[in-house]
Structure 1
Amino acid sequence: MFASLVSLAVAALPLVSAAAAPKPGIILIGDSTVEQNAGWGPGFCNDTVGLATCTDLAVSGTTVISWQHQPTQYNAALKACTVPNTFATIQFGHNDQKIYNTSVYGADLTAFAKLIKTKGCTPIIITSLARRNFVSAHVPDDILEPYALEAISVAESLGLTYLDLHQASLTYITKLGSTLSYEFNYQGTDHTHLDTMGQVYFGRMVADLLIAKLPMFKSFIVPNATMTKAEANGTL
C-alpha cells in the first residue's frame, strides 16, 4: 500500500512541475520601427494571447547604444528580465546605419545581447524592417541588408534565435510593389514608419516568424490565416 502511494506521488511530480512553469513574457526592444506610435510592436502584441506580458519598450531614434541611455525603458527592461521565462526581442539598425559601420554595429549588438542575457532574459535578435523605398515598381532600394546580415552573424555567433524580418518584409514589399507598399506609410512619403494598417500587417509577420523559429509560442499567438496567406502571396 505504501509503495503504491509513493509511486502515485512520483508519477504526479511532472504534472505539478508543468503546472508551475511560468508563462513566457516578451519585451520588445528597438527603434521607431518597433515602437508604439509607428512600428510593428502594437500589431505584434495584439496578436498574442495568454503571455505573462507583451511590453513595447522601443524608443524612436535610438541605436543599440543610445537606447541603453533611455532610463525609463532601460530600467523597465532590467526589471522585466528578473521575471523567469522572459524573452527580449532586439531590433536595431535603422539609426545605427546612419552613424556606424557594420563592424561597430555588430560589436554593439553583441555586447547588448550578452548584457540582456546576463540580466535574465532570453534574447531574440530581429533584423531591421525593410524601408519601402523603390528604384522601380517592384525593385526596392535596399541599403539595410549589410546590417541585417551582421545581426544574423551576431545571433549565430552567440547561439541565439534570430528572426529575419528584413528579408521577410523585403520579399513582401517586392511582391506588393511600390504603390501598394506605400499604403503602409506612416504619413505622406514616410516609407520607413508604419500607419495603423502597417502595424497590423508587419506585427503579424513578426508573429509568424516567431512561431516558425520557436514553436513553443504557437499557443500564445492568435492565428490569422487570411493575413498570413496574404503576406506569403504578396497581397493586401
Structure 2
Amino acid sequence: MPTIFIAGDSTAAKKADDCRPETGWGEKIAPFFQQRIQIENHAVNGRSTKSFIEEKRLETIKNRLAPGDYLFIQFGHNDQKIEDETRGTLPYGSYLNYLTQYIEAAKEKNACPVLLTSISRRDYLSDGTLNPDTLGEYPQAMKQLAQRQDVVLLDLFEKTQNWLKTFPPADTVKFFLHGQPNELPFYPAGVTDNTHLNENGATEIAKLIAQAIRESSLPLKHYLQDI
C-alpha cells in the first residue's frame, strides 16, 4: 500500500506537547483515508523549501520513498522571509528551483509528487475582507510550476481563502491559535496567532485536503474514506 510523505512547514507539522493546542493538518489527515494508507509526516516548524533541503530532510524522505508512494510538498510561509538568508526564497526564482528538487526526488523513486499551495493566514484588510495577497506571489508561482512540470496541484490557498470567507472574521478565531491570558496552559500570557492552527482548524484543513484529493486525478482518491 502507498505511503504519503509530507514535506512542509509548521502548518502541517506534528507539534510538541508543550505547544498544544497548536496542531498541524498533517496530524489530522490519516482518518480521512482507509487504514491501509500510511502517513509519514516530515514537516517541521519554521522550514522553507530551502532550509528543509539544506538540513537534509528531503534526502531522508528520498531514502524512504518507494514506487507508488506520494510526496506532498507544501511550503511558502517561511519562503516569504526573504530577509532571512537561511530560509527566504524568491517566488519566481529560488522558490521554484527548490520545489523542482522535491519533484525530481519523488520522480527518481517512481513516487508521485503533489504540490500544495500554502494555507491562508487569518489576515483581514481594513475593510474586513480577507487579504488575497497574504502569501504574496508564492501560490501563483507554485501553480505555474505545477503546470510546467505536469504535476498535480492541490490549491489549498484558494480552498482555505474560500472557506474562511464563509465565516464572519470574528468567528474564524476558533480555527487558529488564540487564547486569552490564563486560558491555555502553555500560553499563560495569552496568544494571538493568525498563522498556526488549533486542533479544530487542523481538522478542517485536513478535510479540505481530502476534498481536493477527491476532486483531483490522483489515484490516491480511491483510498479516501466516504466522507
TM-score (norm 1): 0.78
Q: Does 1:212 align with 2:196?
A: no
Question: Which of 67, 71, 90 is the equivalent residue of 1:101?
Answer: 90
Q: Residues 1-236 of structure 1 correspond to what in structure 2 (within 5 A)?
A: 23-37=1-15, 38-71=23-56, 73-81=57-65, 83-99=66-82, 100-104=89-93, 105-136=95-126, 138-141=128-131, 142-187=133-178, 188-214=191-217, 216-224=219-227
Structure 1: which 4+ aligned runs deviate by more than 2 Å? 73-76, 214-219
Ranges in structure 1 where 5+ consecutive residues have no aligned partner: 1-22, 225-236
Q: CA deviation at 1:181?
A: 1.2
The structure with more radius of gyration: 1
Larger helix percent: 1
Ranges in structure 2 where 5+ consecutive residues have no aligned partner: 16-22, 83-88, 179-190
Paired residues of 1:128 and 1:166 also in contact (CA < 8 A) = yes
Paired residues of 1:131 and 1:192 also in contact (CA < 8 A) = yes
- Residue identity matched to 2:61: A
Deviations 1:82-108 (A, max 9, x none): x22101010000000112221221222
- Residue identity matched to 1:162: L
Deviations 1:87-138 (A, max 9, x none): 1010000000112221221222123322332233210000010001111575
Paired residues of 2:53 and 2:59 also in contact (CA < 8 A) = no
Q: Which moved more, 1:169-178 or 1:106-115?
A: 106-115
- State how many pairs are aligned: 200
Paired residues of 1:137 and 1:179 also in contact (CA < 8 A) = no
Q: How many angstroms apart in 2 are the aligned matches of 1:170 and 1:145?
A: 13
Percent identity of the aligned residues?
A: 25
